[in-house]
C-alpha cells in the first residue's frame, strides 16, 4: 500500500520555510530480504535486488573485546530500505563501510541505528557513488563512559540527484567522543541536505563532539542545504562545528592553472578528492583500490 | 570535587519599579474585531489603516502558533490588554511629561543620555509615546524623527502608507499579524539623501501596565548615501502575569546608505518578546545590527536582512544572556539576492541558572547572488549543567559562485583561565565575571561608550554572587 513516510527528522525543528525539518519519501509494500547477523570477524555483504520495493535488516553485534569489520555494497534497482543495527559493547569495535551504488531511477533509504555501551566504539564510512536518490540516517547513542563514534561520509551529487543525510550523535555517557566529517561535491542540478546533530545530554560530562563539512559547488543549478546542530544540556563539554561551502577559490585555481591544468580538470580533481579522502580511510586494500579506480 | 560558582540573578531594582496606573485608558482584555475597531477609533486611524488592522486580525485568526521554538503556552491573548494609553499627550519637553512617568525615565537614564550623547529621543510608555524630541541641528538637515501616529497623518503620510508592513507583512507569522491588528506607538525616521547623522537617535520603550501588550512600530528610511545610528532600548517591571511585546521594525536602506541598529533588550522575566525586525538593503548599502538580549521570559528574535542590491552588506553582532526562568531563542536571518553581497554574523550566548539559550540562524543565497560571501560564527558558554544552550543554524545555497563559512563552538569557562586570574589576586567571582564580560565584548565594543558600560554592568550584576 502506498504511503508517504516522514523520515530524517531534525532533532530540534527550525523554520518550516527552509524545508529541512524532515524529508518525505513515497513508499510501498516491500519484499523483505533475508536478515544478516554478524558477531565476529570480517564480512562482506552485497545487497542486490530487482524488486520494486525491498527491505533488509543487518545486525552487527560483536562480543565483548571483539573487533568486527563489515563491508556493505548496494547494487540494486528500484527502492531499497536497509536497516543496520549496531551494538558495540565494552572493549568492542565496529567498523562499518557502506558503498552505495544507486542507479539513476533508484531510491535508497539507508538507516543505521547504533548504541555504544562500555567503552565501545563505532566507525562508519559511507561512500555515496550512485546516481539515484539517497536518504541516509545514522543515529548513534553513546551510552557508555569513554564510548566513541567516528563517521566519515563522501559523496558526489550529479544530474538531478537528491541526497539527504541525517546524522545524530547522542552523548549520554561521560567522556564520550564524536567526530563527524562530511565532504562532497555537487554538480549539475544536484540537491543535497546535510543535517548533523551532536546532542550533549545532561550527565555527559567531559565529552567532546566535532563535526566538519566541506562542500564543493560545481553546478549552475545546485541546491546545498547544511544544518549543523549542537544541542547542549551539560556544562563540561566541548562542541565544535565548522563548514566550508563554495566553488574553487582563486588561489587553488591559480595553483592548478600555473601547472597547466584548466579549470574543468581542476574541478574534477577536487571533486574526486572530496570522495577519495573518505575512500582512503578504508583499510582493505582491494576494496579501497577498486573504489579509487571507479572514482577516476 | 571541583567547586562551583553560584551566580545570582540580575539585580533589576531600577527596572522593576512599578508605577501606579493613574487615569490611564485601558481597552478591554482579549482580541476581537470589536476591540480592534475600538482601538482604531481611539487612535483616529485613517480608513485604510482601520481596514488594514481588520484584515490583519483575520490573518491572525488563520495562522497557527509556531511549534519549532520555545513554548508560549503561558501567553493567553484572552487576558492581554492590547492598548493602554497613559494620561498624557506626547510632549516635546521632559518638564511637561507627568512626574511619575518622567521619574521612571529619569531612573532609566534617558533624559541624561539625551543631553550627553543623542541627537533625538522618543520615549514610549505603554501604548503611546509620551516624549519625542530631535535636536535642532539634526532637524535642520531635514532629518524626520517623529512618532508613527503623527507620521501616519502628517506630511509623510504617503511615504508611511507606501512602506508600512510591506517588508514584514501580516501573513509572515502569527505575531506579525497580531502586530498589524493592534500596533500602537513607535517611531518614524527619514534621513534625506546624503545626510550623515553623526550622533545616534534613540527610542526607549517602557511597558508599565500589568497584563498588557506593547506593539510599537518602527519605520526607518535611510535615503541614498545617508547614514544613521539608531538605538532601541526596552524594559518593564516584573508582574506575576504574562506581558507581551510584539513590536515590528521595518528598515529601508537605500543605495550606498548605511544604518546601524542597536538594541539593548532588558524586558522583565514575565515578558513574551515576539518581535519582528527586517531590513531591505539596496545597492551598495550597509546594515549593521548590534543586539544585546538580557531580559524576557521567552524571546523569539531574529532580525532579517534582505540584501537585494548588488554589493550590499550586512553585519550582525549579538549577545544573549539567559538566566533562570528564561528561554531566549535569538539569532539572525539573511537572504542574499544581489551580486557581490556579503554577510557576517558573530554571536555569543551565555546560559546559567537553568536558563535556555538558543542561537538560530539562516543564510540563504539565491541563484542570482553570484560572488556572495557569508560567514557565521557563534559561540556558546554554559555556566552550569542546569542550563541549556543549543545552536540551530541553517544554510541554503543555490549558486556555485559563493563562499560560505560557518563555525560554532560550545563550552564552559576554562578552569585554567580562572586559575590564572585568581593567581593574580582576583576572587573567583570577579575572575568569572571578567571572563564572561570578555566573552561578550563582541557586542560591547560595537556600542557607544555609555551603552557598553550599561551592558557590562548588566553582565557584572548577573555574575555577582556567592562562590562555593
Q: Which residue has the cell 566529517?
A: A181
> Using CB atoms, which residue from B68, B395, B405 is nearest to A13?
B68
Q: A54: burial class by Cβ within 10 Å (0-12, 13-18, 19+)?
A: buried
Cell for B145? 524623527
The reply to whether residue A232 touches residue B389, judged by beta carbons under 8 angstroms, is yes
Q: Which residues on B lie below 8 Å from A14 (Cβ)?
A: 68, 360, 362, 392, 394
Interface of B with A in 341-400 (CB under 8 A): 360, 362, 367, 380, 382-385, 387-400
CA–CA dist B468, B463 (Å, integer): 14
Number of Cβ atoms within 10 Å of the Cβ of A293:
8
pLDDT, tens only, A186-238: 999 999 999 999 999 999 999 999 999 999 999 999 999 999 999 999 999 99
Q: What is the pLDDT of residues B90-100, one digit of tens each?
A: 888 888 888 88
A189 touches chain B (CB under 8 A): no
What the block records as the C-alpha cell of B177 is: 499579524
Number of domains in chain B: 1
Question: Which chain B residues are Cβ-neighbours of A169 within 8 angstroms?
Answer: none
Q: Please check whether residue B250 is in contact with residue B167, taking contact to mean a CB–CB distance below 8 angstroms.
A: yes
Residue B88 near residue B129 (C-beta atoms within 8 A):
no
Percent of chain B with pLDDT over 90: 63
- Give the residue-averaged pLDDT of B441-468: 66
Q: How far apart are CA B294 and CA B330, in angstroms?
A: 11
Residues B395, A224: C-beta atoms closer than 8 Å: yes
Residue B102 has, within 13 A of its CA and on its CB side, a CA count of 11
Kindly report the backbone phi and psi dihedral angles of residue A164, in degrees, each rounded to the nearest multiple of 5, phi listed first. Answer: -125, 110
- Reported ipTM: the value is 0.96
Closest CB from B362, B384, B399 relative to A15: B362
pLDDT score recorded for residue B362: 98
Per-residue pLDDT, averaged over B432-460, amounts to 76
Pairing of strands A237-246, B402-412: antiparallel
Neighboring chain A residues of B388 at a CB cutoff of 8 Å = 231-233
Identity of the residue in B360, B394, B410 whose CB atom sits nearest the CB atom of A232: B410
Neighbouring-strand partners of residue A215:
A184, A245
pLDDT band at B185 (very low <50, low <70, confident <90, very high): very high
B382 interaction partners in chain A (CB closer than 8 Å): 232, 234-235, 237
Strands B84-85 and B227-235: unpaired
Single out the residue of B150, B44, B36 nearest to residue B92, CA to CA: B150
Return the sign of the alpha-carbon dihedral for residues B460, B463, B466, B468: negative
Give the residue numbers spanning the domain of B388: 25-415
Q: Are B244 and B222 in contact (CB under 8 A)?
A: no
Compare CB distances from A235 to B384, B395, B405 and report the shortest one's residue.
B384
pLDDT in tens, A249-260: 888 888 999 999
Q: Are A245 and B395 a contacting pair at CB < 8 A?
A: yes
- Determine contact, residues A229/A262, Cβ cutoff 8 Å: no
Cβ-defined contact of A235 to B401 (cutoff 8 Å):
no
Percent of residues in chain B assigned helix, strand, coil, to nearest 5: 25, 35, 40
**Residue A219 pLDDT:** 93
- Chain B hits for A233, CB-CB cut-off 8 Å, are 385, 387-388
Average pLDDT, chain B: 89
Q: Which three cell numbers stand for residue A250?
A: 582563486
Segment A69-103, tens digit of pLDDT:
999 999 899 999 999 999 999 999 999 999 998 88
Q: Mutating which of B367, B385, B401, B432 best tests the A interface, going by the most A Cβ atoms within 10 A?
A: B385
Using CB atoms, pick whichever of B385, B403, B409 lies closest to residue A239.
Answer: B409
- The answer to whether residue B335 sits within a structural domain is yes
Cα gap B219→B160, rounded to integer Å:
8
Strand (E) positions, B337-401?
A: 342-351, 356-365, 372-382, 388-397
B4 touches chain A (CB under 8 A): no
Contact B406 A227 (CB under 8 A): no
Q: How many CB pairs under 8 A join A and B?
A: 136
User: Residue B188 domain-assigned?
Assistant: yes
Distance, CA of A272 to CA of A265 (rounded, Å): 11
Higher pLDDT, A209 or A271: A209
Please provide residue B55's backbone torsions phi and psi, each rounded to the nearest 5 degrees: -65, -40
pLDDT score at B462: 65
Does residue B152 lie within any of the structural domains?
yes
| B468 has a pLDDT exceeding 50 | no
DSSP characters over B137-195: HHHHTT-EEEEHHHHHHSTTHHHHHHHTTTSS-TTS-HHHHHHHHH----EEEEE-TT-
Spatial separation of the C-alpha atoms in residues A206 and B446, rounded to whole Å: 34
Interface membership of B460 toward A (CB under 8 Å): no
Using CB atoms, pick whichever of A14, A221, A230 lies closest to residue B360.
Answer: A14
Do strands B120-125 and B187-191 pair parallel, antiparallel, or not at all (unpaired)?
unpaired
Q: Rounded mean pLDDT of B99-103?
A: 85
B435 at A interface, C-beta within 8 A: no
Which residue in chain B has the smallest CA separation from A210?
A: B409
Residue B312 lies in a domain: yes
Mean per-residue pLDDT, B115-144: 87
pLDDT in tens, B241-254: 889 999 999 999 99
Please say if the pLDDT value at position B128 is more than 60. Answer: yes
β-partners of residue B306 are: B280, B335
Q: What is the distance between the alpha carbons of residues B465 and A250, in angstroms, rounded to a whole number? A: 52
- Picking from B230, B258, B219, the residue whose alpha carbon sits closest to that of residue B118 is B230
Residue B282 has pLDDT above 60, yes or no: yes
Task: Check CB contact under 8 Å for A232 and B408.
Answer: no
Residue B449, pLDDT score:
67
Residues B155 and B42 sit within 8 Å (Cβ to Cβ): no
**With 70 as the cut, is the pLDDT of residue B211 above it?**
yes
**Cell output for B28:** 478591554
CB atoms near residue B273 (< 10 Å) = 25
pLDDT above 50 for B467: no
CB contact under 8 A, A241 and B362: no
Backbone torsions φ then ψ of A158, nearest 5 degrees: -145, 170
**Among the listed ranges A133-147, B128-142, B357-371, which one has the minimum average pLDDT value?**
B128-142
Give me the pLDDT at residue B21, please: 65
Burial annotation B181-209 (CB, 10 A radius, 16+ → b, else e): bbbbbbbbbbbeeebebeebbbbbbbbbb
DSSP string, chain A: --EEEEES--SS---GGG--S-EEEEE---EEPPPEEE-SSEEEEEEEE-SSEEEEEEEE-PPTT-EEEEEEEEEESSEEEEEEEEEE-TT-EEEEEEEEEE-TT-EEEEEEEEEE-TT-EEEEEEEE-SSSEEEEEEEEEE-STT-EEEEEEEEEE-TT-EEEEEEEEEE-STT-EEEEEEEEEE-TT-EEEEEEEEEE-TT-TTEEEEEEEEEEE--TT-EEEEEEEEEE--SSEEEEEEEEEES--HHHHHHHHTTT--HHHHHHHHHHHHHHHHHTT---HHHHHHHHHHH-
Interface test with B, best of A226, A232, A242, A244 (most B CBs within 10 A): A232
A245 pLDDT above the threshold of 50: yes
Considering only the beta carbons, identify the residue of A205, A241, A247 that sits closest to B400.
A247
Name which of A173-182, B43-52, B375-384, B450-459 the model is least confident about: B450-459
B407 vs A242: CB contact, 8 Å cut-off?
A: yes
Q: Are B410 and A230 within 8 A, CB to CB?
A: yes
For chain A, how far is it from start to end, CA to CA, in angstroms?
Answer: 41
- The rounded mean pLDDT for chain A is 95
Q: What per-residue confidence (pLDDT) applies to B3? A: 43
Comparing B461 with A256, the larger pLDDT belongs to A256
Instruction: Return phi, psi of residue B66, to 5°.
Output: -60, 140
For residue B374, pLDDT beyond 90: yes
* A134-190: pLDDT as tens digits: 999 999 999 999 999 999 999 999 999 999 999 999 999 999 999 999 999 999 999
Q: Does any domain span residue B281?
A: yes
Q: Residue B317 falls within a domain, yes or no?
A: yes
From the list A165, A233, A171, the residue with the least C-alpha distance to A23 is A165
Residues in Cβ contact with B214 at an 8 Å cutoff, skipping those fewer than 6 apart: B124, B126, B127, B185, B205, B207, B243, B244, B245, B246, B247
Determine the pLDDT at residue B125: 86
B441 within some domain: no
* Beta pairing partners, A199: A170, A231
Domain annotation covers residue B466: no
Residue A248 has pLDDT above 90, yes or no: no
B169 touches chain A (CB under 8 A): no
Residue A87, C-alpha cell as written in the block = 551494538
Amino acid at each position: 500500500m502506498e504511503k508517504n513516510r516522514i523520515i530524517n527528522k531534525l532533532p530540534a525543528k527550525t523554520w518550516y520555510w527552509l524545508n529541512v525539518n524532515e524529508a518525505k519519501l513515497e513508499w510501498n509494500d516491500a519484499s523483505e530480504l533475508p536478515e544478516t547477523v554478524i558477531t565476529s570477524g570480517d564480512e562482506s555483504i552485497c545487497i542486490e535486488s530487482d524488486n520494486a520495493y525491498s527491505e533488509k535488516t543487518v545486525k552487527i553485534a560483536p562480543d565483548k573485546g571483539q573487533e568486527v569489520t563489515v563491508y556493505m555494497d548496494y547494487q540494486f534497482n528500484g527502492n531499497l530500505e536497509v536497516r543496520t543495527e549496531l551494538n558495540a559493547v565494552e572493549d568492542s569495535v565496529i567498523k562499518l563501510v557502506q558503498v552505495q551504488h544507486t542507479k539513476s531511477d533508484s531510491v535508497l533509504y539507508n538507516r543505521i541505528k547504533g548504541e555504544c555501551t562500555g567503552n565501545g566504539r563505532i566507525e562508519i564510512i559511507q561512500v555515496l557513488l550512485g546516481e539515484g536518490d539517497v536518504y541516509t540516517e545514522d543515529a548513534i547513542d553513546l551510552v557508555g563512559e569513554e564510548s566513541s563514534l567516528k563517521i566519515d561520509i563522501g559523496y558526489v551529487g550529479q544530474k538531478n540527484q537528491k541526497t539527504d543525510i541525517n546524522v545524530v550523535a547522542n552523548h549520554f555517557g561521560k567522556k564520550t567522543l564524536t567526530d563527524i566529517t562530511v565532504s562532497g561535491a555537487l554538480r549539475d542540478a544536484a540537491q543535497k541536505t546535510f543535517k548533523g546533530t551532536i546532542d550533549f545530554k545532561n550527565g555527559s560530562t567531559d565529552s567532546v563532539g566535532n563535526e566538519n563539512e566541506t562542500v564543493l559547488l560545481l553546478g549552475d543549478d545546485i541546491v546545498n542545504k547544511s544544518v549543523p546542530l549542537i544541542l547542549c544540556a551539560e556544562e563540561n563539554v566541548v562542541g565544535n562545528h565548522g563548514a566550508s561551502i563554495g566553488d574553487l577559490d582563486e588561489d587553488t585555481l591559480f595553483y592548478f592553472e600555473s601547472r597547466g591544468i584548466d579549470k574543468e580538470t581542476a574541478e574534477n580533481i577536487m571533486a574526486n578528492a572530496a570522495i577519495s579522502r573518505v575512500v582512503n580511510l578504508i583499510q582493505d586494500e582491494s576494496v579501497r583500490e577498486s573504489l579509487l579506480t571507479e572514482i577516476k | 570535587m571541583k567547586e562551583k560558582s553560584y551566580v545570582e540573578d540580575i539585580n533589576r531594582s531600577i527596572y522593576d519599579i512599578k508605577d501606579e496606573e493613574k487615569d490611564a485608558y485601558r481597552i478591554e482584555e482579549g482580541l476581537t474585531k470589536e476591540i480592534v475597531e475600538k482601538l482604531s477609533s481611539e487612535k483616529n486611524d485613517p480608513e485604510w489603516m482601520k481596514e488594514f488592522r481588520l484584515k490583519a486580525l483575520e490573518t491572525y485568526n488563520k495562522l497557527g502558533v509556531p511549534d519549532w521554538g520555545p513554548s508560549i503556552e503561558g501567553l493567553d491573548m484572552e487576558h492581554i490588554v492590547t492598548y493602554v494609553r497613559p494620561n498624557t499627550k506626547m510632549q516635546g519637553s521632559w518638564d511637561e511629561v507627568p512626574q511619575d512617568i518622567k521619574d521612571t525615565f529619569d531612573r532609566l537614564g534617558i533624559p541624561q543620555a539625551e543631553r550627553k550623547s543623542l541627537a533625538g529621543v522618543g520615549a514610549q510608555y505603554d501604548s503611546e509615546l509620551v516624549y519625542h524630541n530631535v535636536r535642532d541641528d539634526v532637524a535642520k538637515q531635514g532629518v524626520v524623527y517623529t512618532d508613527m501616529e503623527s507620521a501616519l497623518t502628517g506630511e509623510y503620510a504617503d511615504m508611511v502608507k507606501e512602506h508600512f508592513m510591506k517588508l514584514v507583512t501580516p501573513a509572515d507569522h502569527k505575531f506579525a499579524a497580531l502586530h498589524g491588528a493592534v500596533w500602537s506607538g513607535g517611531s518614524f525616521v527619514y534621513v534625506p539623501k546624503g545626510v550623515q547623522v553623526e550622533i545616534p537617535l534613540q527610542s526607549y520603550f517602557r511597558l508599565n501596565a500589568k497584563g498588557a501588550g506593547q506593539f510599537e512600530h518602527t519605520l526607518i528610511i535611510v535615503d541614498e548615501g545617508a547614514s544613521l545610528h539608531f538605538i532601541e532600548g526596552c524594559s518593564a517591571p516584573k508582574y506575576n502575569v504574562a506581558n507581551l511585546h510584539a513590536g515590528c521594525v521595518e528598515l529601508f536602506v537605500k543605495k550606498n546608505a548605511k544604518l546601524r541598529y542597536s538594541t539593548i533588550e532588558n524586558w522583565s522575566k514575565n515578558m513574551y518578546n515576539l518581535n519582528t525586525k527586517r531590513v531591505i538593503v539596496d545597492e551598495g548599502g550597509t546594515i549593521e545590527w548590534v543586539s544585546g538580549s538580557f531580559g524576557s521570559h521567552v524571546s523569539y528574535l531574529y532580525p532579517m536582512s534582505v540584501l537585494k542590491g548588488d554589493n550590499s552588506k550586512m553585519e550582525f553582532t549579538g549577545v544573549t544572556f539567559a538566566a533562570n526562568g528564561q528561554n531566549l531563542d535569538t539569532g539572525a536571518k539573511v537572504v542574499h539576492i544581489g551580486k557581490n553581497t556579503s554577510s557576517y554574523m558573530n554571536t555569543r550566548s551565555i546560559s546559567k541558572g537553568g536558563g535556555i539559550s538558543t542561537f538560530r540562524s539562516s543564510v540563504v543565497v539565491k541563484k542570482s547572488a553570484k560572488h556572495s560571501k557569508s560567514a557565521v560564527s557563534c559561540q556558546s558558554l554554559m555556566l552550569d549543567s542546569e542550563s541549556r544552550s543549543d545552536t540551530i543554524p541553517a544554510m541554503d545555497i543555490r549558486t556555485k559562485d559563493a563562499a560560505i563559512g560557518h563555525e560554532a563552538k560550545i563550552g564552559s569557562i576554562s578552569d585554567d583561565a580562572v586559575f590564572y586570574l585568581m593567581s593574580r589576586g582576583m576572587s573567583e567571582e570577579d575572575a568569572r565575571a571578567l571572563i564572561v564580560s570578555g566573552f561578550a565584548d563582541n557586542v560591547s565594543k560595537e556600542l557607544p561608550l555609555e551603552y557598553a558600560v550599561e551592558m557590562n554592568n548588566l553582565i557584572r550584576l548577573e555574575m555577582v554572587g556567592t562562590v562555593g
